[in-house]
Amino acid sequence: MRSNESVAALPLLSRTPTPGLRSVGLAGLVGVALVVAGCGTGTGDDGPTLDVLAAASLGGVMERVVSEFEAEHPGVRVRLSVAGSPDLVAQVVQGAPADVLATADEATMARVTSDPSLRTSRPQVFATNTPALVVSSDAGPAADAVRSLDDAAAPGVRLVVCDPAVPCGDAAVRLAEAAGVELRPVSEELRVTDVLAKVTGGEADAGIVYATDAAAALAREPGAVRVVDVPEAAAVVNRYPVTVLEDSPEADLAHAFVATLTGPGGRVVLDEAGFGVP
């Protein structure tokens, strides 16, 4: 369930809970990422194009950083692809165009940096995030009764989380373990933005997303969700790394983009979105 004027419409990526990471071929990956092409001021008609792949939870931040970067580099066009971190990694490993890669955790990034066929820069951790339990404002009595993580796991509550194979799903698993709660999700999504969409759309009573996604939803529409305090969430931290694919013909430009993301301007954008400092 994806609605965004700046991105292409793609099929919903969701499934009922099953263990393990799905296998996706390169042809299938073409439709996986949301692509925001030239979302800044640069036209890039005759200049270079930079392919930036970013985790779904970074979508809003990256759009702003891309706009800043294109403004600072006239003639450069940035093609931003936003998807679940494992899908982005699969794209890179299978040879899809990529100059910069930013994932939602270090374990997923390691699948790229440890691949002997790829040359990457040393990953820089530039942000942190924590999970948050959000409850729908439109789902009815079951949602109204959710006041804790225990409540979200109760029978009759439609809880949606990310697939454990993606960083937001791993964070949900760690949160549940820390709180001593057994989750019973009705579906597992491949992107945190899809979890949030189901909650805000009333298709789910509750969901575990990132704190930044909850904040963004409330900024767009006050009252869109209710955030339930889970004390253990503060200790469940995802660290976001970024790397440059060094064999890219635009490696120098890619390093410049990373400098913008990790520099003072990027830090302001990250702070405003609620991301923590590593």
Query: What's the mean pLDDT in 191-219?
Result: 96
Quote the strand ranges of the chain, DSSP E: 14-15, 34-37, 49-55, 77-83, 100-102, 124-129, 131-136, 159-162, 187-189, 206-210, 225-228, 238-244
Residue 177 binned pLDDT confidence (cut-offs 50, 70, 90): very high
229 and 94 together in one domain: no
278: in domain: no
Query: What's the pTM?
Result: 0.84
71: in domain: yes
199 and 152 together in one domain: yes
How many folded domains does the chain comprise? 2
114 known ligand binder: no
Q: In the predicted model, what is the mean pLDDT of the chain?
A: 87
61 and 106 together in one domain: yes
Range of the structural domain that residue 117 is part of: 14-128+240-273
CATH number of the domain within which 268 lies:
3.40.190.10
33: in domain: yes
55: in domain: yes
220: in domain: yes
117 and 250 together in one domain: yes
119 and 31 together in one domain: yes
139 and 231 together in one domain: yes
pLDDT of residue 120: 97
209 and 154 together in one domain: yes
246 and 124 together in one domain: yes
140: in domain: yes
pLDDT of residue 55: 97
25 and 112 together in one domain: yes
37 and 112 together in one domain: yes
57 known ligand binder: yes
88 and 176 together in one domain: no
pLDDT of residue 68: 97
Question: Whole-angstrom Cα distance, residue 121 to residue 138?
Answer: 45
24: in domain: yes
136 known ligand binder: no
- pLDDT for 6-47, tens place per residue? 333 223 333 334 333 333 333 333 334 555 545 444 444 578
| Residue with the larger pLDDT of the pair 218 and 36 | 218
Q: Are 127 and 275 in contact (CB under 8 A)?
A: yes
210 known ligand binder: yes
26 and 117 together in one domain: yes
Report the alpha-carbon angle 140-143-167, nearest 5.
Answer: 135
Query: What's the mean pLDDT in 217-221?
Result: 95
